Chains A and B, each alone.
Chain A
Amino acid sequence: MNTLNKIKRTGPVLFSEYEKGSAVKKVLEMEREDILFEIKDSGLKGRGGAGFPVSTKWMITAAANADKKFIVCNADEGEPGTFKDRVLLLEYPELVFEGMIIAGYTIGAKEGIVYLRAEYSYMLEFLENFLEEMRKQNLLGKNICGKGFDFDIFIRLGSGAYVCGEETALIESLEGHRGEPRNRPPFPVNTGYLGFPTAVNNVETLASVPNIINKGGEWYHKHGTDKSTGSKLFSVSGDCKYPGVYELPWGTTLNEIINITGAEDTKAIQVGGASGICLPATEFGRKLSYEDISTGGSIMIFNKSRNMLEVLKNFMEFFVEESCGQCTPCRIGNVKLLEGVEMIEKNEYTIEYIEKLKELGRTMQVASKCGLGQSSPNPFISILENFKDEIFNNKPVLN
């Protein structure tokens, strides 16, 4: 492996001193209810972007009556501009895997599956060796640490489909099908992998768990804001001096990101990847948090030399390619939005038609079946709104 991942800034939450295996040993002495209360006190929410409370997800899965249950680690990190899970898996695999063991013990699962995106298959050997080492140390396998709990982790590779980051599509893929999202409900917590209750958690979410167990939910809750507790990993890229992964408390502003990463002449920041929103300088005082700008952590910085229409076109091409094609709003809608961008590019548009396309985008946001289609119009709407002077000015408009 030729990739070095030095994290630019490690915060006190996710990366506090951690002794390998310590949280697993502690948790196996605890009652399941107490673990759930600890997680509830921490206020930990899903770090993939949706922000669903982890304690609720685990409680429902734990309460479900079934012969088998599964914990799935969603390592299908495909959102453009996101690479925090790559760094976590390569540098802190113990946090991720131990988070899975703790989740498995809490919900009553004996098997954990890591769904690793195909683009990350270069990590496979390293991760398999790491798991083997954990088996030797009796942190995995039969009768873990002599406490009578059996649990093991297996890695499954994806095959290059962005939509498989959506949890029901991921489960379809694990089951050997096309990665097409399912209707929800039923939710995976009740009817998941092979029909069994399944908790699907993001890599970063799981990696947050061991320190919460060791230091307590209350300790975790002290970091961040009231509604967005703890810290977040941000994947910062684009026009800045120091791109990389940063652990920062929730509530950090975009201006602070600019300062920390040494960005200059910043014109726009795309928060949340291709499916996120694009903000202009007037909005850089806003806070990264579930209550303000919610995100899975992708921060792409664009300076004044960049052409925002070009950026938008890149994102829309991405969605046209990655739409699974199952539901009409997403399959057709993204093609129409991309055509709109190309019309603007060629100066062959009317403002009226572009407004209609924005309306179509808002329809896609409510009518698409899964998160991909619901969020794919975000860049179209936000870039055309926030950068309309740049995009539409000084261009003749056909009527």
Chain B
Amino acid sequence: MNDSEKNIRNEFIQTLVQRFGKERTALLPVLQEIQKKFFYIDEHSQQEVARLLNIHPVEVNSVISFYAFLYDKPRGRNTVRVCKNIICNYHGSLEIAKALSTELGIGFNETTKDGKVTLEYANCFGMCDKSPSILVNDQIHERVNKESVLNLIRDLK
């Protein structure tokens, strides 16, 4: 990471700390916002958050590693999550998973070469009455089928 990229992150983290405060309770909201903007929380950002919140960097990394929706490795600009609960499975989520994988040319927990999409499974989204469902970034899509998910990912930037 070059200096200008580091500066962009430093400035952003500074505004987050102004917004959420320097208490430990601010840690998750700050990490969530970094994640949203830069798609993962790089080592430099972890150090900067630790410094401003006066927490050991290992603590910051430990928190990131605990939560399924926080990442410390580079990811795609978009995340597509397929629900893997049994109810969605029985309503066709496995076929949808396969179609997505084929279309994107990647397996699950992988990112496309152009950095557009990371594909993942996730546990129950609470949409079992409208299954199968997928999450594209933070938007839920219910009762999807092979055609509709392919249209969805073609629209991603």
A interface residues with partner B (beta carbon < 8 Å): 2-3, 77-83, 85-86, 117-122, 156-162, 173-180, 194, 235-239, 243-245, 300, 306, 310-311, 314-315, 318, 321-322, 324
Contact = CB atoms under 8 A, between A and B. Distances in A.
A179 B86 contact: no
Contact of B63 (A2, A178, A245, A321): A178
B70 interface: yes
7 contacts: A119-B140, A159-B32, A175-B24, A237-B131, A300-B128, A310-B86, A318-B85
A310 B90 CA distance: 11
B123 A162 contact: yes
Given A157-B32, A176-B63, A311 B86 contact: yes
B68 A160 contact: yes
Contacts of B32: 157, 159
Interface string B19-38: 00001111111011000000
Contact of B25 (A3, A194, A243, A300): A194
Tier of interface size on chain B: 35 or more
A177 B68 contact: no
Contacts of B122: 119, 160
Interface of B: 23-29, 31-32, 62-63, 66-70, 84-87, 89-90, 122-131, 135, 138-142
A223 B68 CA distance: 41
B117 to A, nearest CB: 18
A194 B130 CA distance: 38
A238 B87 contact: yes
A156 B138 contact: no
B127 A174 contact: no
Nearest to B135: A119
A176 B25 contact: yes
Contacts of A119: 122, 125-126, 135, 140
